[in-house]
Amino acid sequence: MFYTVLILGALVMIIPFVWMLSTSLKTSGGTMVLPPQIIPEEVNWSNYQRVTEAFPILRFLWNSTLVAALSTIGQLILCSMAAYAFARLQFKGRDALFLIYLATLMVPTQVTMTPQFILMKYLGWTDTYQGLILPGMFNAFGTFLLRQFFLNIPRELEEAAFIDGASHFRVYWQVILPLAKPALATLMVFSFMQSWNNFLWPLIIVSDTEMMTLPLGLANLQGRWATDWNLMMAGVVISVLPVLAVYMFAQKYFIQGLTMGGLKE
C-alpha cells in the first residue's frame, strides 16, 4: 500500500512535465484543442528552432549558466567556511551570533530587495554580472545545513590533524570538506535550482536585453493579448535540462545527504 501511494504521487508529480513536453511539440492551434491531447497528432519539432529565432535564447542560457554556476560556487565556499566556524570553533558569543544569523531566514526576500537594489545602484552594478551574482552568494540556510552536518563529524579526526600540526584552514579543507560531500551536493542542487529559476531579482537589477537570464527572457514570449504556448513550453523544456543535468551529476551524494540526516543536531 505504501509503495502504491508513492507511485501514484510520483505519477501526479510527473504529469506537468509530460504536459510541458507535449505542448512544446504541438502546433499553435493544437495547444487549445478539446479534449486535450497528450500525444499530439502532428509532432512539430520546429518549435525549438523557432524559439531560438524569436529571441537570443543562447545568450540568455549563457547568462543563466554563468550566474547560477558562480552563485553556487560562492555559496558553497562562503557557507562552508561560516558553517565550520559555527560548528567547530570556540569563541565568545558563538551560539548567540548563530541564532541572530539564523533569524534572518524569517525575513522575507522581498523586504531585502529594495536595500539590495539601492546598494547595487550606488556601486554601479546594475545591468552587470556582479549585481546578478554577488547577492545570491550569501545564504543563511546553506550555513545552517552545513553546520548541522559538520556537528556530526567526529572531533577525533580534527584533533588528530591538530596533533600533526595542521591549521584550522587545513582541517577545514582536507578533513571536513571531503567528509561533507553529501551535504555539499545537497546544497549545490538547492542553490543551483534557486539561482537558475530566480526571476524577481534579475527583473529588478537588469534592464539590458544582453544581460537577461533565461527565466526573464522566457517571460518576453508571453504576449499582452495572446501567447504562443508551444514556443513558451519549448523554451521551458530547454531551461529545465541544465537543472536536470546538475541533479543527475550530484544524485548519488544528494540522496546520501538527505538520508544521512544533515538537518539533525
Q: What is the mean pLDDT of residues 87-111?
A: 88
Closest listed residue to residue 214, CA positions, set 53, 71, 65, 74: 65
pLDDT of 139 over the 50 cut: yes
Place 260 in a pLDDT band, splitting at 50, 70 and 90.
Answer: low
Using a 10 angstrom Cβ sphere, with 0-12 exposed, 13-18 middle and 19 or more buried, the burial of residue 38 is exposed
Every domain of the chain and the residues it spans: 56-220+239-259
End-to-end Cα distance, the chain: 32
User: For position 263, what pLDDT does the model report?
Assistant: 43
* The pLDDT value given to residue 256: 63
| pLDDT for the residue 265 | 43
Tens digit of each residue's pLDDT (9 = 90 or more) over 147-198? 988 988 888 888 888 888 888 899 999 889 998 888 898 898 889 989 998 9
**Average of per-residue pLDDT across 7-25:** 85
Q: What is the pLDDT of residues 59-81, one digit of tens each?
A: 898 999 999 999 999 999 999 99
Judged against a pLDDT cut of 70, whether residue 257 lies above it is answered with no
Question: Residue 259: pLDDT above 60?
Answer: no
- pLDDT at 262 (0 to 100): 42
Judge whether residue 16 has pLDDT over 90.
no
State the average pLDDT for the chain: 84
pLDDT for 239 equals 85
Mind listing the pLDDT tens digit for each residue in 234-255?
Answer: 888 888 888 888 877 777 766 6
**The architecture CATH gives domain 56-220+239-259:** Orthogonal Bundle (1.10)
pLDDT digits (tens, 9 = 90+) for 193-213: 899 989 889 999 998 888 999
Q: What's CA 31's distance to the chain center, in Å?
A: 30
Question: For residues 150 and 83, is the Cβ–Cβ distance under 8 A?
Answer: yes
The single-letter DSSP state of residue 126 is: T
Q: Which three cell numbers stand for residue 264?
A: 539533525
226: pLDDT strictly greater than 80: no
- How buried is 106 (Cβ within 10 angstroms: 0-12 exposed, 13-18 middle, 19+ buried)? exposed
